[in-house]
């Protein structure tokens, strides 16, 4: 796995799960479109359109309860705590079936904001050095970090099939493929 991507995932997810939410819940749905791109160490590349819909962001109390569940019981406890939690939106790759997002946090950064989004199922399994990569135990989530300006334009990253672990007090996101999937040309369309 790319060390800087792993560090970025640790920093963003840690901050997102433990932060004080800077704004109230989103009142109206927002839709962001982008192109997910990946380039592997052996020079292969691929891209796909991705649509991220944010129906709501989480209040601090809801986020803290989920973070505490993870701290005390890991990914299994987080998954159990998510049962009954209303989806926060959806993530759709290409024209596939939309995957519900289960955790969306927002914080102010610079002249814009950072959205950290978690799904409780993988979006797609990329690579792992084989064509038609298959599911692997433990890669049960997807994590998206989307940084946008006041107009809704920006960039981000996505770990489309990820393990989430706790290392001390820091959350670590481990991507199935080990390759950084970048979100380019992010644009708010609604």
Q: So what's the pLDDT on residue 170?
A: 58
Please check whether residue 132 lies inside any domain of the structure: yes
Dmax over CA atoms of the chain, in Å, equals 44
* 137 pLDDT above the threshold of 50: yes
Q: So what's the pLDDT on residue 98?
A: 96
Please check whether residue 46 lies inside any domain of the structure: yes
Per the CB < 8 A criterion, the answer to whether 121 and 140 are in contact is yes
Better pLDDT: 21 or 121: 121
Please check whether residue 137 lies inside any domain of the structure: yes
Average pLDDT on 68-76 reads 89
**Is the alpha carbon torsion for 33, 106, 22, 86 positive or negative?**
positive
Residue 127 tokens read as 């690579």
Per the CB < 8 A criterion, the answer to whether 125 and 46 are in contact is no
Please check whether residue 130 lies inside any domain of the structure: yes
Give CA–CA dist 70/104, Å, rounded: 16
Q: So what's the pLDDT on residue 36?
A: 94
Q: Looking at the 3D structure of the chain, how many domains does it have?
A: 1
pTM: 0.80
Residue 61: pLDDT band (50, 70, 90) is confident
Per the CB < 8 A criterion, the answer to whether 45 and 179 are in contact is no
Residue 2 carries which DSSP code?
-
Q: So what's the pLDDT on residue 21?
A: 40
Surface-to-core class of residue 34, CB atoms within 10 Å of its CB (0-12 exposed, 13-18 middle, 19+ buried): buried
Q: State which residues form the domain around 165.
A: 3-21+31-188
* 33 pLDDT above the threshold of 50: yes
Please check whether residue 26 lies inside any domain of the structure: no
């Amino acid at each position: 796995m790319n060390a800087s991507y792993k560090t970025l995932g640790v920093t963003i997810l840690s901050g997102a799960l433990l932060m004080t939410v800077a704004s109230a819940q989103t009142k109206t749905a927002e839709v962001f479109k982008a192109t997910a791109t990946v380039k592997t160490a052996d020079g292969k590349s691929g891209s796909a359109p991705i649509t991220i819909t944010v129906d709501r962001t989480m209040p601090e109390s809801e986020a803290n309860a989920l973070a505490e569940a993870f701290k005390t019981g890991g990914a299994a406890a987080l998954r159990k705590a998510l049962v009954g939690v209303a989806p926060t939106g959806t993530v759709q790759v290409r024209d596939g079936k939309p995957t519900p997002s289960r955790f969306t946090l927002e914080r102010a950064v610079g002249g814009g904001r950072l959205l950290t989004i978690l799904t409780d199922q993988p979006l797609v399994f990329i690579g792992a050095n084989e064509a038609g990569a298959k599911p692997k135990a433990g890669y049960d989530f997807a994590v998206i970090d989307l940084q946008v300006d006041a107009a809704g334009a920006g960039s981000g990253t996505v770990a489309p099939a990820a393990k989430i672990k706790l290392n001390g007090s820091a959350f670590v996101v481990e991507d199935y493929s080990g390759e950084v999937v970048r979100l380019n040309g992010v644009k708010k369309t609604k």
